């Protein structure tokens, strides 16, 4: 009587942890972009990845940490691109334009990542709010530096605050236009930056002219 050879029992494919985490982040990005942070559950992410919810908690701890893992790469990428564009520009005015072009190029290139970074359903306080405020601060820093340089690095108690306010305002305008564009697709993405630049350019030129004058009057004053 011949010896029977046991059939190998089917086993679930085991992926390295790093690869499984990458799958979870990709699935979570899709869900966060489509439904918003507030509506996404760990159950939904686990189902999309094909793992158990306890395993997902073991990898990321909670939904907050999973979201932060999703934004870490894309947030750093946008910060780095704006830093590089501003640093490479030949003068402060061109640096401010370059920052806008990079911002809108990022939105057009990766709508999913932008929707996740600028999700309106994010918590208003806690680790996520702090992380998003940190990204906005880091995005604004090179833009504020360009505004200070455009003003000729004028001394004065208000110079730093003005540069920061203008940087935040410029980026807030870009954010609002991006949100509108993503919901409408009403204009070519490549033209959004140029549209905003056309509106801002007269003010930039006035500030540069004021800084170049011998008495450095405040831009906008008679």
| Digit-coded pLDDT (tens) for 66-123 | 999 999 988 999 999 999 999 999 999 999 999 999 999 999 999 999 999 999 999 9
* pTM for the structure as a whole: 0.82
Q: Tell me how far CA of residue 164 lies from CA of 143, 167, 188, 220, in angstroms.
A: 8, 5, 30, 17
Weakest mean pLDDT among 42-46, 107-111, 140-144, 187-191: 187-191
| Digit-coded pLDDT (tens) for 153-179 | 565 668 889 899 999 999 999 999 999
Alpha-carbon span 169 to 157, nearest angstrom: 20
Q: Is the pLDDT of residue 205 over 80?
A: no
Alpha-carbon span 183 to 174, nearest angstrom: 14
Q: Tell me how far CA of residue 209 lies from CA of 90, 138, 152, 166, in angstroms.
A: 17, 28, 10, 17
What domains are there in the chain, each with its CATH number?
71-212 (1.10.357)
Choose among 209, 212, 217, 208: nearest CA to 93: 208
């Amino acid at each position: 009587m011949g010896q029977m050879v046991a059939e190998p029992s089917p086993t679930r494919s085991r992926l390295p942890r790093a690869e499984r985490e990458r799958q979870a982040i990709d699935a979570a990005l899709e869900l966060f972009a489509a439904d918003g942070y507030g509506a996404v559950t760990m159950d939904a992410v686990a189902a999309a990845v094909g793992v158990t919810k306890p395993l997902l908690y073991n990898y990321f701890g909670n939904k907050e940490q999973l979201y932060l893992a999703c934004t870490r790469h894309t947030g750093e990428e946008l910060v780095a691109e704006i830093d590089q564009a501003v640093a490479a520009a030949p003068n402060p005015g061109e640096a401010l334009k370059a920052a806008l072009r990079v911002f809108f190029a990022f939105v057009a290139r990766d709508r999913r990542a932008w929707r996740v970074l600028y999700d309106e359903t994010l918590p208003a306080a806690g680790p996520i709010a702090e992380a998003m405020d940190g990204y906005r601060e880091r995005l604004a820093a090179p833009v504020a530096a360009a505004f200070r340089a455009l003003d000729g690095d004028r001394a004065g108690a208000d110079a730093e605050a003005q540069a920061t306010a203008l940087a935040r305002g410029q980026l807030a305008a870009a954010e609002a236009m991006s949100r509108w564009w993503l919901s409408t697709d009403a204009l070519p993405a490549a033209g959004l930056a140029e549209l905003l630049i056309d509106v801002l350019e007269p003010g930039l030129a006035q500030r540069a002219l004021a800084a170049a004058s011998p008495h450095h009057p405040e831009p906008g004053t008679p």
